[in-house]
Structures are given as C-alpha cells and as structure tokens.
Structure 1
C-alpha cells in the first residue's frame, strides 16, 4: 500500500493535516488520532477524484526529496511528520454475480436513496466489510 507524507499542525487545540505531494488535500480534527483518520479519508477521496478526472497522480517524494524543497521546509516548521497509507482505486472490472432478487431490490432502493449506482453502492459495502474484518 502506498504511503504519503503528511504534515500535522496544531493551533488552539485544533489539528490540521496536509499532504505536500497532494496540494489542496487537507483536513482537520480535534485530536491527533482524529486528524490522521480524517486525513486518510480525505487523501483517499482526493486520489479517487484525481483518477476520475483523468489527472495523473504525483510521484510521491521520499523524505530527502521533501527536505530539499524550500517550500516543504517552510510548511513543516513546527509540524509533526506522519506517513499516511492510501489505497489508490484500481481499474474497474465487470463481473457477473448471482444474488437473491429480494436482496437485489433492497440494494437498488438503498443505492438510489444514497444517490449511487448499484456498483458504487456494492463496492462501498464491500470496502466497509473488509475494513471491519481487518
């Protein structure tokens, strides 16, 4: 799983997280744990959006490369440096599955209510289940 360096700053009891290699990807939290969790979610969403928009993903720099960047030196002053894992989405693969029709109707209703396609709804459900199983 790829890792991205993150900078965590604290000001007046609020933590902020940013990613030097993913400009514009930021989040906040009330604790270090919350900001890391929310930062990981923001990074996953940011990367998925880049892929959906057809934007190339940046090549993640190592710590030596980041330290050689003057803007990183300025931005990292007083920050905690963290590594945040992210799972870039892969290429969509079409599959054929069998499912009880009543369950499928319930899936379609829930997906519609969530404003999602059936595929997006099922993929999200699988991701949650896999996360819970880990």
Structure 2
C-alpha cells in the first residue's frame, strides 16, 4: 500500500512532508532524499498509532485522484508529489527461504560484516531504502 505525500520547501527551512490522505501525519528532512526516507518512518508510526487507538486506517487515493482534488490546489502548489510505501513494523520476525546468486550473497555478507550487521539486518535495511525510493 502506498500513500501520496506532498513535499514543500520554504526558504530557510527544511523540506516538510504532509499526507493528504493521512491527516496529522507530518515529517521533514534537511534534503529531499532525507525527507522522503523520513516520510516512510512517519507514515508507519502514524498508522501504528491509529491502529493502537482503534481508529480506522485511511485508504490511499491514487496520484490522479490527489491531482484532481480541487480542495488540495493550494497545498499542492509548488509541492513535489511522491509515493510513499506503508512499511509496518509488526514487532516479530519471520524466517523465509530466499534464493540468491552466490556472488550476490557473498557481497551482502561482506558489506553486512563491514557495517557490523547481520545478513538479515542488512537485507532488511536495503529493502527499506529500496521501498522508499
């Protein structure tokens, strides 16, 4: 599931992020890339809080629907629209079976070791970054 976010940059400020379909969910970042990555975490945290409170989870609209929504004209002005994945941390891990080329697996293990991470932690962080892009 992906939500559309609007990223704005005012002079002398960080990039601000808001979600038209998720009222009250905001984020920011010093760079556009950082703002996009922080938006993934903010969205996941906000949805987790809604679920904990027993509130309904909003349904994301398509990019076309956001662009066509005249009530968003002002908020959309000068905004960069990005699609943000909803990544839920459910607090439990699951063992899976994945097939990879041996050379890729060796590269993953080498990089994970150099960062002081396990193979699983490295793959999870790489997937999170890829989903945010």
Asked whether the two chains share a fold, i.e. TM above 0.5, the reply is: yes
Residue 11 in structure 1 maps to residue 10 in structure 2: yes
Q: Which has the higher contact order (CA 8 A, sep 6+)?
A: 2
What is residue 106 of structure 1 aligned with on the other side?
Answer: none
Residue 75 in structure 1 maps to residue 103 in structure 2: no
Structure 2, gaps ≥5 residues long: 93-119, 128-133
Asked whether the 8 Å contact 2:40–2:87 carries over to 1, the reply is: no
Tell me the distance in 2 between the aligned counterparts of 1:69 and 1:4. Answer: 15
Q: Deviations along 1:43-89, whole A, 9 cap, x unmatched?
A: 00000001111111111111232233222222100000100111246
Q: How many residues align?
A: 100
Compute the TM-score of the two structures, normalised by the length of structure 2: 0.65
Tell me the distance in 1 between the aligned counterparts of 2:89 and 2:19. Answer: 18
Root-mean-square deviation over aligned CA pairs = 2.5
Compute the TM-score of the two structures, normalised by the length of structure 1: 0.65
Structure 1, gaps ≥5 residues long: 94-127
When residues 26 and 133 of structure 1 are mapped into structure 2, their CA distance, relative to the original with a 3 A threshold, is closer
What is residue 110 of structure 2 aligned with on the other side?
Answer: none
Q: Secondary structure at the match of 1:58?
A: coil
- Structure whose CA Rg is larger: 1
What is residue 132 of structure 1 aligned with on the other side?
Answer: 125
